[in-house]
Amino acid sequence: MNARWDWFVRISSTSLTLSHTRPAKTMRKKSVPNPKRTMSKVDIPASVPGSSRQTRICHPTPSASTRTIETIPIVSGPPIDRRGMQPPLRRNPRAPSRGTAPAGVYRGATGPPVRARRSARQSGTPSQNPLSCRRRARCARKKETVLSDAQPITGLCPGDLAPHAFVCGDPARVERITAGWDEQRLVAQVREYTVVTGSKDGVPLSVASHGIGAPGTAVLIEEMIKLGVNTILRIGNSGGLHPDLEVGDLAITTGCVRDDGTSKTYVVPEYPAVASYDVVGALVESAKATDARFRTGVTWSLDAFYARNAVAGPGDSMISMSVDGYWPSHLEARIRDMQAARILNCEMEAGILLTLAGLFGIRAGAICVVSDKAPWPGPSEIDLDANMGQCIEIATNAMLALAKAET
């Protein structure tokens, strides 16, 4: 049985020597060296004409008459600094071998040659997740070194928002709100969240869209509060419940019936959702200055747009807007109860806004255009743009008054 061979390499300035030894067998008492398997060394001086320094390595073989000789050049020169070198590309071991390809490149089952994949740590490049790149770019612009400062959903960073901000449901309405500002810049555009920051009359302002419903609104409001916003005013549409309201009138919210599920996740249903006294007062004064038709009162903030809305039917009946006319019987009674309680209007986001404002200690309010009356006369009777320009003007003047009162 052949014994294990131990190989050794010794490198000098002029030669490279490869040697091997064969250890003694375990059953022998005394190891007898084999002259056929001893170290073989041939040194060639560096002054050999016509080449760089070379060393011949003699590889012993089991046969005494056979000997394989290789010539390995040892190129002289200055030492190589490998500290700045990139690691070599690694070939994918699972890739099939199909023809020849450059080093570091393999051919897949189909298609052109593909460079072997390297991890982000090896290649020195950051993760290419689109949202991560946007967060990293914004934080780098502000010389922020900690990526955790960027909010996880909107990607907003410290310094992106002004202390006074508007919110609205439709991202397209952001441009309309900022139309009269002195300056503006887009700071975020993720999902339903479009955020613009600028100024008007020297007052820094921000506006952000939150989409439809309380869950998405809660995400935006929380991240805005974390970034230092202390006053939030919602501009939106609503359905009129009060008999004195007409389409195009303005409804200024003083408090909310919290009929949404999100606010109940934060706090018990008995917790009141109340608008800030300062915000309500500023909205009322601004509305009076423009001779607008408005009313103040309690807003019904609810979930499920289709399940909670109905079209007026024959007589006093209501027809559901949901699929196949689905409408639990108690919902019709719910609408009539709200009308009997003299609720002003109904919408879907003011309840969570005022709840979070109360919990986290900021000022908040809401002003909405009455775009239809409940029960609806029909979808053709809805006018989402009715008097929206005046609503934006009143809200902007109220916010400027609040900001200037702080200085």
Structure tokens at 89: 């590309």
Asked if 204 and 163 touch (Cβ cutoff 8 Å), the reply is: yes
Share of the chain above pLDDT 90, in %: 49
- Residue 251 is predicted with a pLDDT of 97
Structure tokens at 272: 């009141």
The SS3 of residue 299 is strand
**CATH (residue range 161-406):** 3.40.50.1580
Asked if 195 and 156 touch (Cβ cutoff 8 Å), the reply is: yes
- Residue 68 is predicted with a pLDDT of 43
73-122 pLDDT tens trace:
555 556 656 565 555 555 555 555 555 444 444 444 445 554 445 544 45
Q: Which amino acid is at 64?
A: A
Query: Cα separation of 63 and 376, whole Å?
Result: 103
- Residue 32 is predicted with a pLDDT of 55
Number of C-beta neighbours around residue 83 at 10 A: 5
- Residue 104 is predicted with a pLDDT of 46
- Residue 327 is predicted with a pLDDT of 79
Q: Any idea where the domains of the chain sit in the sequence?
A: 130-159, 161-406
Residue 54: which pLDDT band, with cuts at 50, 70 and 90?
very low
Evaluate the CA torsion angle 313, 319, 321, 323 in order and state its sign.
negative
339-368 pLDDT tens trace:
999 999 999 999 999 999 999 999 999 999
DSSP, residue by residue, 206-242: EEEE--SSHHHHHHHHHHHHHTT--EEEEEEEEEE-S
- Residue 329 is predicted with a pLDDT of 79
Query: Cα separation of 272 and 255, whole Å?
Result: 8
- Residue 370 is predicted with a pLDDT of 93
361-390 pLDDT tens trace:
999 999 999 988 876 666 555 666 778 999
Per-residue pLDDT at 48 exceeds 50: no
DSSP secondary structure letter of residue 376: B
**What is the mean pLDDT of the segment spanning 282-292?**
96
- CA angle 187/189/190 to nearest 5° reads 130
Per-residue pLDDT at 237 exceeds 60: yes
Q: Which amino acid is at 359?
A: L
137-192 pLDDT tens trace:
665 655 444 446 899 999 999 999 999 999 999 999 999 999 999 999 999 999 99
Cβ contacts of residue 14 below 8 Å, gap of 6+? Answer: 43, 44, 45, 46, 53, 55, 74
- Residue 57 is predicted with a pLDDT of 45
Average pLDDT, the chain: 77
Please give, one letter per residue, the 3-state secondary structure of 34-57: CHHHCCCCECCCCCCCCCCEEEEE
221-230 pLDDT tens trace:
999 999 999 9
CA distances 307 to 94, 208, 265, 328, 330, Å, are 55, 27, 21, 8, 11
